[in-house]
Amino acid sequence: MTARISRWPGIELTAADLHEGKVTQTRFRPDAKYAWSAGEAMSRFLEELQNGRLIARTCRKCARVLFPPRMFCEECFRPTDAWTYIRDTGTIETFSISYLDTDARRIPEPILVGVVSLDGASPKMGMMHYFGGMTKDEIRIGMRVKAVWKPKEERRGSVLDILGFRPLGEGES
């Protein structure tokens, strides 16, 4: 048995009814606060940044060190196995010389951004960040770099707890 509705009960409102105030209305600005979980791997990664450390996950099957850490290996289709710290030194994988800031405004002095593959992680595993302590003419792919950390009390559990990556000095590791 099916019930058919041929006519909706009530009175249909038009836009004009709203504009002319024929309907009771209220306006408010909600003070909404949001919180969400970054997930197991990313939460630990952010927490460790606050301590000035970079953490990765290992996969026993393909013997890779995944960074940033992930709880699942996309090569083996299985959960990763353990946490491991990697170093805060690495190699510039790619870079851009940008004359636009983060708000897409034109800037006279370029910012240098790109991907660093980090020592201790598997090849091509890295993070995107700023480069400093070098000019646009000096930066090159393959350059050895080291993280410059914010002072501990200013760290917030963010990738910006690292100010950027600067050239690794002679004999420095």
**Site residues (vs Zn ion, CB under 5 A):** 59, 61-62, 73, 75-76
- What is the Cβ-side half-sphere exposure of residue 44, based on CA atoms within 13 angstroms? 14
Residue 81 or residue 101: which is nearer to Zn ion going by CB?
Answer: 81
- The structure tokens 């000035």 sit at 52
The closest of 92, 86, 172 to 129, measured between CA atoms, is 92
Least Å distance, CB 1 to Zn ion, is: 57
Q: Is 43 helix (H, G, I), strand (E, B) or coil?
A: helix
Taking the least distance from each CB to Zn ion, the nearer of 62 and 134 is 62
Q: Cα torsion at 127, 131, 136, 141 (round to 10°)?
A: -40
Residue 55 vs 143, nearer CB to Zn ion: 55
How far is it, in rounded angstroms, from Cα 173 to Cα 8?
Answer: 75
The nearest distance, CB 124 to Zn ion, in angstroms, is 14
Residue closer to Zn ion by CB (options 41, 73) is 73
CB of 62 to Zn ion, least distance (A): 3
Q: How far is the CB of 48 from Zn ion (least distance, A)?
A: 21
